[in-house]
Copies of this chain bind each other. A is one copy, B any other.
Amino acid sequence: MAGIIIDAKVDRIQVPENLRYFRLIEEQKERCAEIGCNGRMFKFGLGQSPFPVPAPLQKALSLHSGKGTYADPIGNTELREAVASFYKKNFRLDIEPYRVITGHGAKGLIFSLFTLLTGSVIIPSPGWLGYLPQLRILNVPYYRLYTHGAGNFKVRPNTLEAMLKGLVKTQHLLILNNPGNPTGALYSREELTAIADVCRKYHTFILSDEVYGLLTYDPVSFVSMGEIYPEGTFVIHSLSAGMGAGGFRLGSCIMPEGSSPAIIRDVAKIAATIYTSSAVPIQEAGIAAYRSENEMDQYLDAVRNILRIMTTRLARLCSDTDGIRVTIPKAGFYFMIDMNPMANLLQNAGIMYSNDLAPALISHPYHIATVTGEAMMAPYGDFFIRIAATDFDGEEALLEYLERSPASDAEEEIFFTKYGSDMIEGIRMFKKWVTDIRDGSFRFSAP
């Protein structure tokens, strides 16, 4: 019997950034071990909440651990109603519960939506890598919309319109990640309105991935595309980022206003076909998450503020480096370093493409583990680095914050240096790496 022949498309499916990141660290540790280095890494790669699962979710999961029967593929009614009320209250979205569908993580849901819709998909780059390999599995045509020029890493109505004008007149779906991964940027009401106007004109729906919405440092500054363009937006949320429960795998989507019951049934059919439903005890945890108002409000307030302190201060620390640009985030875990101003120096040091950045950064003695290049949908010739400011003790930080939150800029700085010491050291090492490149004392050769 000859070996297993895998399908040709499998090679075209990019390895998700977290798998790539873990492998990067493992491989560097092996190389370090060979030279007697213990290989301690500065971990800036993992986009995962550092905070514990909130108590109401844990309690509900425990209480419903005996729920073993099959469920509705798009989630039980109570969960869908709870999601609807939660986003109505938090994001001023007026949603009939029938429009809420839930599924096995935002990824599972997005895959179902890509299966549902005809037409092509427009993916802004750089961005989260997750969408593109799903489209390749499903053979859905897609176009990258580059945003790093005048766009300052945001989708701009004029560049979007220029692209849509050139495409076949069919239905399109624009991916909009707001707040943004990797930049931590937020779209204003005006920006969203202008984008929606273009989309209306070109029969373009929007998949508005708002999984970091709850982590907007100044919560009232977040505007959902579901409010601006209700008839054309699929709004995606999940328990992962905001509620510290990435391992729970529960996502939700608010379908466009006016979606017919038949279309909701189609999504249910697709989800049932691909993965049946999300796990039933997990759905119960989700109900608790969306219903435990005071407890969750307190948790989210603390989490937002801690992330604001850690992420913006780290970004500012980093931005104080000659020859690079840094986005100062307004939400979530990430900021982005744009090293294009140093492109010539990088190439002199043997870092020829954006994919080379990650292996160069992790090489001995720097040990800076990050996501770059293809893993963040960066064009090959553009030198971008995603920094996740998540490597701190979220449980301890949360306890201290809930007991006594820092009340001044000075106290916040103390909080930052106390919990962020590993990350601060990592950014110092990054600066050394930049200096070494600048003065020619580091030369990268692919491992």
| Residues in A lying within 8 Å of B, measured CB to CB | 1-10, 13, 15-16, 18-19, 46, 48-49, 52-53, 57-59, 61-62, 65-71, 73, 104-105, 107-108, 111, 115-119, 130, 133-134, 137-139, 170-171, 200, 203, 205, 231-232, 244-249, 256, 258-260, 263, 266, 268-270, 272-282, 285
Contacts and interface: CB of A to CB of B under 8 A. Distances in A.
A247 B10 contact: no
Closest 8 CB pairs of A and B: A247-B280, A53-B68, A61-B65, A62-B62, A68-B245, A7-B118, A58-B65, A108-B275
B68 A231 contact: no
A33 B259 CA distance: 29
A69 to B, nearest CB: 5
Contacts of A116: 6-7, 10
A5 B281 contact: no
Nearest to A232: B1
A273 B130 CA distance: 7
B137 A247 contact: no
A275 B58 contact: no
A367 to B, nearest CB: 22
Given A58-B65, A62-B65, A65-B61, A249 B275 contact: yes
A275 B18 CA distance: 14
A60 to B, nearest CB: 8
Given A58-B66, A133-B273, A244-B68, A1 B107 contact: no
Contacts of A244: 68
Contacts of A58: 65-66
A103 to B, nearest CB: 9
Nearest to A259: B4
Contacts of A119: 5
30 contacts: A1-B200, A2-B203, A4-B117, A4-B171, A4-B205, A6-B266, A8-B118, A13-B269, A13-B270, A15-B272, A16-B73, A16-B272, A19-B268, A19-B269, A46-B70, A52-B68, A53-B66, A61-B65, A62-B62, A62-B65, A68-B245, A68-B246, A70-B247, A104-B275, A107-B274, A107-B275, A111-B275, A134-B273, A137-B138, A274-B275
Contact of A247 (B52, B68, B118, B260): B68
A10 B19 CA distance: 31
A277 B249 contact: yes
A391 to B, nearest CB: 13
A378 to B, nearest CB: 19
Contacts of A9: 115
